[in-house]
Every structure is written in C-alpha cells, then in structure tokens.
Amino acid sequence: MNLIVAVDKHWGIGYNNGLLVSIPGDKKRFREMTTGKTIIMGRRTLESFRDGKPLPNRNNIVITTKKNYDGHGAIVTHSIDEALKKARELSAEDDIFVIGGGQIYKALYEQCRKAYVTRINYEYVADTFFPDLDSEENWKMVEESEEQTCFDIEYTYTTYDNLLLEKE
C-alpha cells in the first residue's frame, strides 16, 4: 500500500477542508499515479471533490462513521479495517493509495510501504498536518526530483520508503 500527499515546509496539508494550493503539475502526477488503482480516503476528502463525487477511473473507498452515508458511487466503509479488506479484495498492495485526509493518513501511513510526497517550498496557513517523515526513523527519502516551479511556487517530488516494511 502507498500514500500520496502534498505538504508545505511544515508538513501542512490542508486548511478549512481544502488543499493548501492547487498545482497543475502535481494534480497531473496524482492522476497518473492513481488512475486505474484503488484509493482510500475519508468522507471529508470525498466531499472536497467536485460535486462531492468519486474520482473517475479508480476504485474509490471512503471511510465514514455516518451509517447511511451516500458516497455517490464510492464504496462506503465504516472502519479502517473494513476499508483495507475491501481495498485488498479489489487490488494488489502496490495498487492501493491512501489519499487523505489528515485522520486517514495518521491511521494508515505506518502501514504504507511508500510515500509519494510533493514538498512545497512555502509555509501556508494550515490546520491539518501530515507526520514529518524526515523526523521518523522508520522512513527514508529515497528519491527527489529536480526542483519544479509553477508561477512563484517551488516544489519537488519525493519518494519515501517505510524501512519497517521494505524487507517484508
């Protein structure tokens, strides 16, 4: 299982249930990496999409505590375990991506083998954060792209390996 996330200088990922910034190149990379795969997300992440609808050409699994939640075509689950079970029925481990939000990342990041992190060289006002993988001894950055730019935003694509899971 993998995760994909965009973070600012302080590992901020969101504010008021939205992304901190929208970078076309990063959106394209997200689309390319997750199309045809299974994605796991929380309810608020699903609701942040256009019209609150699942992303096309993916198995969308949403986790919510709301019992009669209408996922508009997403597979609705009510626990982390139920979501993982369903994801593994639909896809191989390498074809499962955790895509947010903050609570879902925190619950699942240690179970992911790889983290695909867009590192934005700016500090935004954020109310939701991702764990700082640079300070976690079980995570190691194994790849970093050349610096990218979008107007005045500078960012890099990085890949982290979970050292606890890479040997399994």
Q: Check residue 107 and give its pLDDT.
A: 98
Instruction: Provide the pLDDT for residue 52.
Output: 92
pLDDT for 167: 59
| Mean pLDDT split into 10-residue runs, the chain, 168 residues | 98 94 97 98 95 96 96 97 98 97 97 98 97 97 97 97 82
Are 17 and 48 in contact by the 8 Å Cβ rule? The answer is yes
**Does domain 14-162 correspond to CATH entry 3.40.430.10?**
yes
Is the pTM for the entire model greater than 0.75?
yes
On whether the CB atoms of residues 120 and 6 are closer than 8 A, the answer is: yes
Q: Is 94 helix (H, G, I), strand (E, B) or coil?
A: helix
Q: Can you give the pLDDT at residue 161?
A: 98
Domain residue extents for the chain: 14-162
